Structure 1
Amino acid sequence: MKTPEHQDLARLLPGPAERDLPPGRHRHHKERLLRAIDADRRPRPLVRRLVRPAFALPLAATAVAGTLVVTTLTGGHDEPPAARVPLAETGTGRGAVVLLDRIAAVALKSGTKPVRDDQYVYVRSVATETEHIKPVKAGKLKQREDWFSQNSGPTNDVGVFREDGEYVTIHGADKDPAGIDRPTYQWLASLPTDPDALLRRLRKETRPIKGQEFDQTVFDTIGNLLWTGVMPPRTEAALYKAAAKIPGVVTMRDAVDADGRHGVAVAREDRQLGRRTEWVFDKKSLSYLGRRTYLTRTDEWGKAGTLVWANAILERAVVDRARDIP
């Protein structure tokens, strides 16, 4: 017999026959479902946003085409991060503007090279395996590799991912072109580089999610674009500056990614849902470390401060073929 929780999840997720699950999308759904809790929200097509919460190395410290970027690990990847997150201070919007402006300045100097349509963005990461139960429980870490196709035209080639030693090839069902739900280098390069114009464009193309603040949805959309896309330095810088213009975006002096690395964070709390999402950056280099989401109020999903989801980027590069290892 199905429990109410199972019925909730069945309602929120599209039927499996419609299309394949894109690289990283199932982890993205875990986070989104848990953050939306019991809200009656409309799901997005699963072949679309190729994300787990984040591919945003500020391409400040990121990959230029054909160049391997390795992040030094600080610990093992079997145990989850602490299940409890110290409740963060309020943070300041002014601080967010200053920090994101600094990150944008670093991005402008990244020297990221163009990525061809026939190449792939490779990402190796770890993330918590979150259980869909009440109260929520962030489980042990699992390592994953993704190869994101950069084909800008209508294509069935979405990419490949590997977990537990198994490769899964993802095929789009309707030959989706590149766009906000499948960001490629060429599509990202076509976006406005004026932050105000860019934010207007993103607000227009971002689909609202019932039960979630729209500003939070836009903030998440920017995080998704940064997570999955290698882009020109000016585009990346504009995305950071656009994020600074979203109401409620603040800085946090300390945050921790799934690998236990401490950094400074850009964060936003969805007060409607009682969830805070933080993008964690290295305090010195401003390189992107990872992302985490936790409860900010006590409800049926757990106590305030309970970790919902966390991840960490371990390595990324641009490669010529799916399954190529840098």
Structure 2
Amino acid sequence: MDDLRLLQQVGQEIPLATPDQLAPARDRLLAVLTATPPAPTTIRRDARRGWRFVFGGVAAAGVAAAIVSVLVLAPDQVGGDVPAARAEASQVLRNAAAAALRLPDTTPRPDQFIYTRSQQGRELRESWLSVDGTRNGLVRTASGGGGGKEAVIPGCRNGRAAVVKGNNVLPGRTEPCTPAPGYRADMPTDAAAMGAYLTEHRNGKVDSVNSAGKDVYYFASGYLRPQSRAALYEAAAAVPGLRAVENVTDGAGRSGIGIAWPSTGRSGEVVLVFDPKSYAFLGVSESSAVLALAVVDRVGQTG
């Protein structure tokens, strides 16, 4: 149920597949990437409206390079004489995709919650988000100096949600709402469809690689089924201009290999951090960390 712990464990116990073993999956993915795209379909827009991903502006050379190298996961490329931190950024992301596929596949039930424990600077945050958005959730924060706060997240049923003032639900009072599911059941399971999904759910500056990195971070920090998580990383691997960074740490001080998303503005690079052995997603360099992620039955449960 805990993606991070399971990914770290299987990454240590199970070797990466050989090229021959991966050939059928690679051929299927190449067929999808080179096929004529289907007619556009309507995808529900959520609260993160206005998103924009950079796949539509990927240079032809970048796309060709990504297609040629999709799912090339030979062991000598991620171990042996070549340290993982010296690999190409696209290779690291594809390794993370392959590792994600080894996780158990659990589909959250509508009545369950997505539990996340994360760190933002000195603040430790725990959240329980309703899978289908209809049940009351909770966010709990604690700072390094002690003390903590709790905030109820009202569930939305039949277009109405309870009114919350401070941390108190006001009895008998409701307001219009739109459900905000803690789990996205519509996330694609292949790289091409994931690229289209990210374009539809775009955010930030148009054609900004830096903004695209933030979008990948947003999705990677939440609960995804293994095939969707793998598709996210494979889609990210097709973005040109990324680079691998050695000796980085996430917001909790854990060491990893970074994938830098360049910026032309003042915000600076977004550096996503992955475990160098298991390829589990850890967080953002020196600013945030995903410490636990699980599907649970009730608010307050942690695994």
TM-score range, shorter chain: 0.5 to 0.7
Distance (whole Å) between structure 2 residues aligned to residue 94 and residue 168 of structure 1:
42
Deviations 1:246-269 (A, max 9, x none): 232221122111222211012202
How many angstroms does 1:194 deviate by?
2.5
**Within 5 A, what are the aligned runs for 1:67-86?**
none
User: For the structure 1 residues 313 and 142, does the alpha-carbon distance in structure 2 shift closer, same or farther, using more than 3 Å as the test?
Assistant: same
Residue 197 of structure 2 corresponds to 201
| Ranges of 4+ aligned residues in structure 1 off by more than 4 Å | 55-59
Distance (whole Å) between structure 2 residues aligned to residue 252 and residue 208 of structure 1:
24
State which structure, 1 or 2, has the greater radius of gyration over its C-alpha atoms. 2
1:175 corresponds to 2:177 = yes
Distance (whole Å) between structure 2 residues aligned to residue 97 and residue 322 of structure 1:
38
User: For the structure 1 residues 207 and 259, does the alpha-carbon distance in structure 2 shift closer, same or farther, using more than 3 Å as the test?
Assistant: closer
Query: For the Cα contact (< 8 Å) 1:258–1:311, is it kept in 2?
Result: yes
Distance (whole Å) between structure 1 residues aligned to residue 96 and residue 149 of structure 2:
36
Query: For the Cα contact (< 8 Å) 2:251–2:289, is it kept in 1?
Result: yes
Residue 246 of structure 1 corresponds to 239
Query: For the Cα contact (< 8 Å) 1:58–1:107, is it kept in 2?
Result: no
Counterpart residue type for residue 272 of structure 1: G
Query: For the Cα contact (< 8 Å) 1:213–1:272, is it kept in 2?
Result: no
Query: For the Cα contact (< 8 Å) 1:58–1:103, is it kept in 2?
Result: no
Counterpart residue type for residue 189 of structure 2: T
Pick aligned residue for 1:226 from 195, 220, 226? 220
Pick aligned residue for 2:138 from 149, 160, 177? 160
Look up the SS of the partner of 2:7 in the other structure: coil
Identical pairs, percent: 29
1:214 corresponds to 2:208 = yes
1:101 corresponds to 2:98 = no
Query: For the Cα contact (< 8 Å) 1:57–1:227, is it kept in 2?
Result: no
How many angstroms does 1:127 deviate by?
1.7
Residue 262 of structure 1 corresponds to 255
- Structure showing the higher helix proportion among its residues: 2
Residue 300 of structure 2 corresponds to 323
Compute the TM-score of the two structures, normalised by the length of structure 2: 0.59
Query: For the Cα contact (< 8 Å) 1:195–1:241, is it kept in 2?
Result: yes
How many angstroms does 1:58 deviate by?
9.8
User: For the structure 1 residues 240 and 272, does the alpha-carbon distance in structure 2 shift closer, same or farther, using more than 3 Å as the test?
Assistant: same
How many angstroms does 1:275 deviate by?
0.7
Look up the SS of the partner of 1:284 in the other structure: coil
Pick aligned residue for 1:150 from 107, 131, 141? 131
**Within 5 A, what are the aligned runs for 1:130-149?**
141-149=122-130
How many angstroms does 1:99 deviate by?
0.7
Query: For the Cα contact (< 8 Å) 2:116–2:292, is it kept in 1?
Result: yes
